[in-house]
Chains A and B, each alone.
Chain A
């Protein structure tokens, strides 16, 4: 193995990428704080059980370790939401809801492809009204618009609707999973085969046919109501209609579509679920939904709803659009040939106070070499203090000009001269 080899599925972000990803986080944070959400930083590692009790599949997905101190299995977080639920149930036992939290960081999943995913997430806890779900969707729309994105679609479904359908169609328990997976790939012929295998009568087949077509604009909600009239389905469609009305008054209807024919989301989702899509990215850039029974399993009975956004995919999208172009903080590079005088330190300090990014050369080598390196590293200007052949002078240069100037009587004066020269160029 080479010393520089890294494990599969993990990557390094180099300075430009790191700055740009940081900028996405900064913009999201700015918006979410305006909505009154507060940050939490959950630990990177928790007992495996915290995740597993919510969804067995986390056991398979997690990176697991043995905690030497207790002998119990611990897991590198495969999902933030169970952690937030635990935190609310343990640290906010008696505080009155609602709670509005956001988090940023990576989740880790031991699967093929990427194994670390940067996320930004939002949770609104303690409100069961559909208005809460509408708030989460509004927050997403605002955050994405703040990044300059417009043509994204939020694709909304409802777990309760599919549950109602499964009951109404009398799908046997052991076949539910198969049915749900056929639905989620809209596999018409697979469903036909499934209907044949189960000897479904014609009424059921017709209903399934309608079900498979229940995606699109809000009008599909009416179609859904006409076919699926059981209590669960009606409740789900009514909820979605109400939500759409709210989102319409916010002016977001263009960004909203519905899909009642799929059950997406995690196992812990209990009501509406959604995914966020953009025409320039083939895979969903975020998802979320309501999880009313999750926090209860940690000891406090609170309804909740939330979302998480995949920052890596947002980044990929913004790069394709060339919408992010952050300059590296590379204004001035100071080269000092006589370090004993501490001049460089003082000049750099004063320039930084005035708002410039200033780095010092420090490495011993010929001045011309240092200047060349400064420009190779992307610095705009290089300043040489105490140049050998010019006593009491300094040099300011860029790739386009070079100017030799007399030092001032004080650091302040010298810096002012430097700034004058920078402004001329």
Chain B
């Protein structure tokens, strides 16, 4: 991490295009990360962009391997690392939901549960949520295809991200509770904000300006 260069950690996947679009509005051209290549590190003048898994963005930023990053509130919250989170970028809207098979014998009622068995990619948020409600969660941590867990009777229910709800429907599930509403956030390494103060604060200010002027598509 040197003083002149600013490194952005960008998430591979569904948020990437919007993230690049946003940076362009702030006069930062990161469009090369959209090219189909195997490269993971891109340079453009005083900026460097690294492409990482969404779950890893806040890890890179926390440790200072990147000065700034863009990631969903869901994965930031799950990691729970001490980073600044100054701007809600408003895109990448999704919800972290509890879902269960439509034909479950005892439908979800959090007031009546003392115990819940769920499969999820978000064990920390899930654990915290249920314990705060006085429900003991037994959590099966999965890395993907969480929707099939109830079909195979691995668990009764799942906690997973929902955008349109069609994946849930296709697998015979229905949403019964919302744990977290998530959108993309700009996150900033604490040391970067303090030691590259002028450049980083200016950048954060520019991006904030875009939102205040309403010049962004959701």
List residues of A whose CB falls within 8 A of some B CB. 151-153, 155, 184-190, 212, 215-217, 257, 259, 275, 277-284
4 other A-B residue contacts (CB within 8 Å) besides A185-B84, A279-B1: A189-B88, A281-B191, A282-B1, A283-B62
Q: Is the CB of B194 within 8 A of A189?
A: no
Residues on B with C-beta less than 8 A from A153 are 194-195, 197
Q: With a CB–CB cut-off of 8 A, which chain B residues contact A283? A: 62-64, 190-191
Is A185 a contact partner of B83 (Cβ separation < 8 A)? Answer: yes
Chain B, residues 77-90, CB within 8 Å of chain A (1/0): the string is 00000111111100
Interface residue from A184, A185, A190, A277 paired with B191 (Cβ < 8 Å): A277
CB distance from A371 to the nearest CB of B (A): 45
Contact B84 A284, beta carbon cutoff 8 Å: no
In the complex the two chains form, is B65's CB within 8 Å of A279's CB?
A: no
Interface band, chain B: 20 to 34
Given A277-B194, A282-B1, are A185 and B85 neighbors across the interface (CB < 8 Å)? Answer: yes
Secondary structure of the B side of the interface?
Answer: mixed
Q: Are B84 and A279 in contact (CB under 8 A)?
A: no
- Chain A residues with CB below 8 A from B126, complex form: none
Q: Do the beta carbons of A186 and B191 come within 8 Å of each other?
A: no
Q: CA separation between A278 and B189, bound complex, in Å?
A: 12
Question: In the assembly, what is the distance between CA of A80 and CA of B206, in Å?
Answer: 42
Closest Cβ of chain A: how far from B85's Cβ, in Å?
5
Query: By the criterion CB–CB under 8 Å, are B192 and A279 in contact?
Result: yes
Residue from A189, A215, A216 with most neighbouring chain B CB atoms (10 Å): A189
Which residues from chain B sit less than 8 Å from chain A, CB to CB?
A: 1-3, 61-65, 82-88, 185, 188-197, 201, 208
Q: List 14 A-B contacts (CB under 8 A).
A: A184-B82, A185-B84, A188-B87, A189-B185, A275-B194, A277-B195, A279-B3, A279-B191, A280-B64, A281-B64, A282-B192, A283-B62, A283-B64, A283-B190
**Is the beta-carbon distance between B64 and A186 smaller than 8 angstroms?**
no
Are A282 and B65 CB-contacts (below 8 A) given A153-B195, A257-B194?
yes
Contacts of B3 in A (CB 8 A): 151, 279
Bound-state Cα–Cα, A279 to B194, Å: 8
Q: How far is the CB of B69 from chain A (nearest CB, A)?
A: 12
8 Å CB contact of A155 from B65, B82, B194, B196: B194
Q: CA of A197 to CA of B5 in the docked complex: distance in angstroms?
A: 40
Residues of B within 8 A of A217 (CB): 197
Residues of A with C-beta under 8 A to B208: 188
Which chain B residues lie closer than 8 Å to A282 at the CB level?
1, 61-65, 189-192
A280 CB contacts on chain B under 8 angstroms: 1-2, 64
Which residues of chain B are within 8 angstroms of A281 by Cβ–Cβ distance? 64, 191
* Bound form: Cα–Cα A55–B189 in Å: 28
Closest to A193 in B: B88
Docked complex Cα distance between A190 and B147 (Å): 30
Contact B190 A190 (CB under 8 A): no
Min Cβ gap B186→A in Å is 10
The CA of A277 and the CA of B195, in the complex, are separated in Å by 7
Determine the distance from Cα of A187 to Cα of B87 in the docked complex, in whole angstroms: 7
Interface pair A279/B2, CB less than 8 Å apart: yes
Provide the bound-state CA to CA distance between A132 and B3, in Å: 32
Instruction: Tell me the smallest distance from the CB of A348 to a CB of chain B, in Å.
Output: 47
Looking at B2, B88, B208, which has the most chain A CB atoms within 10 Å of its CB? B88
**Hey, which chain A residues are within 8 Å of B1, CB to CB?**
279-280, 282
Q: How far is the CA of A212 from the CA of B84 in the complex (A)?
A: 12
**A278–B84 CB distance below 8 A:** no
Q: Which residues in A have their C-beta under 8 angstroms from that of B61? A: 282
Whether the pair B63, A188 counts as a contact (CB closer than 8 A) is: no
Contact call A186/B84, Cβ cutoff below 8 A: yes
Minimum CB–CB distance for B185 against chain A, Å: 8
A residues less than 8 Å from B190 (CB atoms): 277, 282-284
**Residue among B88, B185, B188, B197 making CB contact with A257, cutoff 8 Å:** B197
Assess A278 versus B191: contact at CB under 8 Å? Given A186-B84, A189-B87, A189-B88. yes
User: What are the residues of chain B within 8 A of A190 when measuring CB–CB?
Assistant: 85
Partner of A185, one of B63, B65, B82, B196: B82
Contacts of B82 in A (CB 8 A): 184-185
- Which residues of chain B have C-beta atoms less than 8 A from A215's C-beta? 193, 201
Chain B residues with CB under 8 A of A184: 82
Contacts A187-B86, A189-B87 hold; do A216 and B197 have CB atoms under 8 A apart? yes
Q: Smallest distance from the beta carbon of B88 to chain A beta carbons, Å?
A: 3
- Docked CA distance A185–B83 (Å): 6
Nearest CB on A from B175, distance (A): 21
Contacts of B88 in A (CB 8 A): 188-189
Residues on A with C-beta less than 8 A from B2 are: 279-280
B65 contacts across to A, CB distance below 8 A: 282
CB neighbours of A259 from chain B (8 A): 194
Are B195 and A187 within 8 A (Cβ)? no
Closest to A279 in B: B195
Bound-complex Cα distance A151 to B195 (A): 8
Give the docked Cα–Cα distance between A215 and B3 (Å).
19
Q: Report the minimum CB–CB distance from A149 to chain B (whole Å).
A: 12
Contact A216 B191 (CB under 8 A): no
What are the 7 A-B residue pairs with the smallest beta carbon separation, nearest first? A282-B64, A189-B88, A279-B195, A277-B191, A277-B194, A186-B84, A282-B63
